[in-house]
Copies of this chain bind each other. A is one copy, B any other.
Amino acid sequence: MITLTEENYIKAIFHLGKQGSATVSTNALAEAMHTKASSATDMIKKLAEKNYANYKKYQGVSLTAEGKLVALNIIRKHRLWEVFLVDKLNFTWDQVHDVAEQLEHIKSQKLIDELDAFLDFPTHDPHGDPIPDKHGKFEHVEKTSLSNAKEGGSYVCVGVNDSSVDFLKYLDNNDIALGTTIKVLHKEPFDHSIKIAIDGRELMVSQVVGKNLYLKEN
């Protein structure tokens, strides 16, 4: 039996190390879990014990194939529930995260299969992140952050890095949503702020925004 806490640690390792393959430091994991390094160490040992994680003392942690499957399954559930909340229950994209964090731990294969069908097999969640299929496979989008986008280029918004309420509200307030076309007018070398155009309207955004907004070429 896998506990709720174990699932959350596995998910955190998956997100910190790219797809769980890269090795994650104890401190980084502890910080992500809002806990202390000693607690993280204990849990890492347990996950290694149960064969969800690879671990050598002082060497950080990564996920085993089995651990990755667990992570992908949780992510699949999380993102499907997010789609449900937004499409069917009138949640906005900044309201879904906390609830989905709870719903993702519900255990029932039939539930998630039926939910998937009920939502018409969505491929992306409300933040533009891809939804893994039953086998943990999902399309990888060739996305770049706005900060890495080319001056003069034309892009489409495909996702966000930061899903915090504050950031998502900021985007809403500035009419930036998934699918919005964004032109990169000027990248300021001094403070790394960026001037962009949305539907012809010009907007100045900070480096922080640039790093948290994902685009694909248009």
The residues of A with any CB-CB pair to B shorter than 8 Å are 85, 88-91, 95, 98-99, 102-103, 106-108, 110-111, 114-115, 118
| Distance to closest chain B CB from A140 (angstroms) | 30
Whether A102 touches B107, Cβ cut-off 8 Å, given contacts A90-B114, A114-B89, A115-B89, is: yes
Q: Give the residue name and chain of the B residue nearest to A4 (CB).
A: B4
User: What are the 6 closest A-B residue pairs judged by CB atoms, nearest first?
Assistant: A89-B114, A99-B108, A102-B106, A99-B111, A90-B114, A88-B118
| Distance to closest chain B CB from A190 (angstroms) | 43
Could you tell me the distance between the alpha carbons of A85 and B111 in the complex, rounded to whole angstroms? 8
Could you tell me the distance between the alpha carbons of A188 and B70 in the complex, rounded to whole angstroms? 56
Could you tell me the distance between the alpha carbons of A85 and B85 in the complex, rounded to whole angstroms? 15
Could you tell me the distance between the alpha carbons of A90 and B88 in the complex, rounded to whole angstroms? 17
Q: Give the residue name and chain of the B residue nearest to A114 (CB).
A: B89
Could you tell me the distance between the alpha carbons of A194 and B151 in the complex, rounded to whole angstroms? 83
| Distance to closest chain B CB from A74 (angstroms) | 14
Q: Give the residue name and chain of the B residue nearest to A90 (CB).
A: B114
Neighbour of A118 across the interface among B89, B111, B115, CB < 8 A: B89
Could you tell me the distance between the alpha carbons of A99 and B98 in the complex, rounded to whole angstroms? 20
Neighbour of A95 across the interface among B85, B95, B110, CB < 8 A: B110
Q: Which residues of chain B have C-beta atoms less than 8 A from A88's C-beta? A: 118
Could you tell me the distance between the alpha carbons of A179 and B71 in the complex, rounded to whole angstroms? 44
Q: Which residues of chain B have C-beta atoms less than 8 A from A90's C-beta? A: 114
